[in-house]
Chains A and B, each alone.
Chain A
Amino acid sequence: NAGVTQTPKFQVLKTGQSMTLQCAQDMNHEYMSWYRQDPGMGLRLIHYSVGAGITDQGEVPNGYNVSRSTTEDFPLRLLSAAPSQTSVYFCASTLSRGRDNEQFFGPGTRLTVL
């Protein structure tokens, strides 16, 4: 199994540009989530999905969209990038919500918005 994969690893955007961060898992996990990690702060939840076709907002959803058309893929879209979105983004998955299962994280995407 490849686990959780993320692309790209690094990205530089200009303010106002849009882009999609890709996340995929091959473990047939129901629950997937996106976090951002900023210096001095814990990881914060952006959006999550409990299964294909079902998504919901996390703690810091503004400026981001998600969709879950398949179990495997959970892309994160930045609609109009802002410098405040400069961060490291992690995608994670776990077997299912409501059960205490091990969390699997992707390698992260380091995004800089100029």
Chain B
Amino acid sequence: KNEVEQSPQNLTAQEGEFITINCSYSVGISALHWLQQHPGGGIVSLFMLSSGKKKHGRLIATINIQEKHSSLHITASHPRDSAVYICAVTFFFPSQKLVFGQGTRLTINP
């Protein structure tokens, strides 16, 4: 079964801390997406990657294809980073549909 697992499910940290959210998947993928959802809000795409590393501002996403693992890092975290972060993957088989993890709820306290 094609599965996506995220950890931790919940994460609370103090402003300024370095944050890491992990995502593991079961079989080969063509792409991995990191999404952000603020409370009561819509879903925004942060990154799409199939290899290596991408950086946007204080956000960094990495993927290790051999380990079937990706991480999302937030440097110098801020209360406005508080949101649910969702990992989603496109598996090679049986189709190109997205499969989502359950999300990680991040709370950054001032």
Instruction: Report A's interface with B, CB cutoff 8 A.
Output: 33, 35, 40-45, 48, 58, 90, 92, 97-98, 100-108
Contact = CB atoms under 8 A, between A and B. Distances in A.
Interface of B: 4, 30-31, 33, 35, 41-45, 48, 50, 86, 88, 90, 96-103
Query: B-side binding surface: helix, strand, loop or mixed?
Result: strand
A42 B101 CA distance: 5
Given A100-B50, A107-B42, A42 B31 contact: no
Query: A-side binding surface: helix, strand, loop or mixed?
Result: loop
Contacts of A98: 96
Contacts of B102: 40-42
A83 to B, nearest CB: 22
| Pairs A-B, 5 closest by C-beta atoms | A42-B100, A100-B31, A105-B43, A107-B42, A43-B100
Contact of B4 (A33, A42, A101, A102): A42
Which of B31, B43, B45, B101 has the most CB atoms of chain A within a 10 A radius of its CB?
B43
B96 A97 contact: yes
B42 A42 contact: no
